[in-house]
Amino acid sequence: MPSQSGTAGRPPRSALATGPGPFRPGRLALVALLGLLAVLPGEIGVVTRGALTDAYLQVSVFVAATLLLFYGVERAWHVDVGSLMRRHRRFQVPIAALFGALPGCGGAIVVVAAYSSGHVGMGAVTATLTATMGDAAFLLIATRPDVAAVVLPLSFATGILSGYAVDWLAPGRLATAAAPACVPARIARPRARDFASLALAAPGLVFGAMLLADTDPAETFGALPQWVALAGIALGALIWAASPVDAITSPQDPPLARMSEETSFVTAYVIMAYLAYEYLITLTGIDLGQLFDTVAPLLPLIAIAVGLIPGCGPQVLVTTLFLNGLIPFSALIGNAISNDGDALFPALALDPGAAVRATLYSTIPALLVAYGVYFLAPGLF
């Protein structure tokens, strides 16, 4: 996440965020509220525990597995993105789009950091912001891999075209920053919490795979899957509340620590989306399907507008609505192309004007693709 805006003497955001104690008070209060909702008797408690179990087994365990694999390979191969972009200037746009298309916001944030140092052009940052789906990609991959197999390559291709178009029509770059865009706190070695996260995620991944295979793990293992899920959620919530970093970890950190930290951050957003949906549907009885049917032609536009909001929370909610059959694929693809996830924050901190231009550039292809799908392939997925 952003740490500098070029102001001399300003400490990194990661240092500001850690606070004087092991926990961040605001996050700890949210964790306490979540725990209270989960143990309440009656319908609220049942709905909360069900949503938390689904969030962990349907999303978090797959996020953990993906991140551990990605960061393990990155550590083994000694990937240096800045050096890669400098060596292949002619291919900066497709490289930036590829990093943006990777699930999560890490790849896009790395490109934005290189942009802030003057190593890549506006086309590259537009390509990565257009291609990224942010943390919502994890949710889609885990629950609808067939849809993800269409959305991610389409976003990648759109990012490349958009990046080259921007370099041709509106070339430019940010001035070199006085310090790196992202200075995450360092984690020297794997901690007990990291090993505990892996110990819970391993069986959770088995249960999650059973769900993907349309098999209820409770029929075989009884209450064990829910207990593993709730324990995993509780541990992840505490890691999130005590995290020394803001979503993005340092490439020098151990892969296991990076996995537990970033999975907890993604899970926080997923929990919010799952609970918002379950509370809205179960506790209020609102028929969102009927409500959205009345404004069907506007749904892609609304989803694209939501994509302009920085961060991944709103985008996870849009993906959740699609997965529950409440919005069409055209709205999902429009949001996937227009949203910039957490990668927009570093750009906003360094140069708000350039950041706004970059995210507005991504709305043009989002509108074209979304309404192209809406009118030409309305029944897709």
Domain count, the chain: 1
Specify the DSSP class assigned to residue 285: -
- Tens digit of pLDDT for each residue in 174-193? 444 434 444 556 788 899 99
* 96 within 8 A of 120, measured Cβ to Cβ: yes
Q: How far is CA 179 from CA 16, 85, 111, 187, 293, in A?
A: 16, 19, 15, 20, 49
**298/317: higher pLDDT:** 298
The first and second tokens of residue 248, run together, are: 């993005």
Q: Of 121, 129, 122, whose CA–CA distance to 365 is shortest?
A: 129
- Residue 21 pLDDT > 80: no
Model pTM greater than 0.75? no
Q: What are 271's strand-pairing partners?
A: none
Rounded CA separation 265/270 (Å): 9
- Residue 323 pLDDT > 50: yes
| 105-114, 124-133, 298-307, 372-381: least confident range | 105-114
Q: Per mean pLDDT, which of 71-75, 205-209, 342-346 is the most reliable? A: 205-209
- Report pLDDT for 184: 57
- Report pLDDT for 247: 61
Q: How far is CA 63 from CA 106, 197, 251, 269, 310, in A?
A: 13, 12, 18, 12, 21
- Tens digit of pLDDT for each residue in 211-225? 877 789 999 999 999
Q: What are 134's strand-pairing partners?
A: 104
Domain that holds residue 226: 21-176+188-376
Tokens 């919530």 correspond to 237
State the burial class of residue 58 (Cβ atoms within 10 Å of its Cβ: 0-12, 13-18, 19+): buried
Question: Has residue 10 been placed in a domain?
Answer: no
Question: Has residue 181 been placed in a domain?
Answer: no
- Report pLDDT for 47: 92
Rounded to an integer, the average pLDDT of 277-295 is 78
CA 242 to chain centre: 20
The first and second tokens of residue 205, run together, are: 């991944």
- Helix (H/G/I), strand (E/B), else coil: 134: strand
Q: Of 324, 354, 318, 353, whose CA–CA distance to 336 is shortest?
A: 318
Question: Has residue 5 been placed in a domain?
Answer: no
Rounded CA separation 37/212 (Å): 27
- Report pLDDT for 174: 42
Rounded to an integer, the average pLDDT of 192-211 is 94
Neighbours of 323 (CB within 10 A): 18
Question: Has residue 254 been placed in a domain?
Answer: yes
Question: Has residue 142 been placed in a domain?
Answer: yes
Question: Has residue 154 been placed in a domain?
Answer: yes
Rounded to an integer, the average pLDDT of 138-162 is 92
Rounded CA separation 321/289 (Å): 10
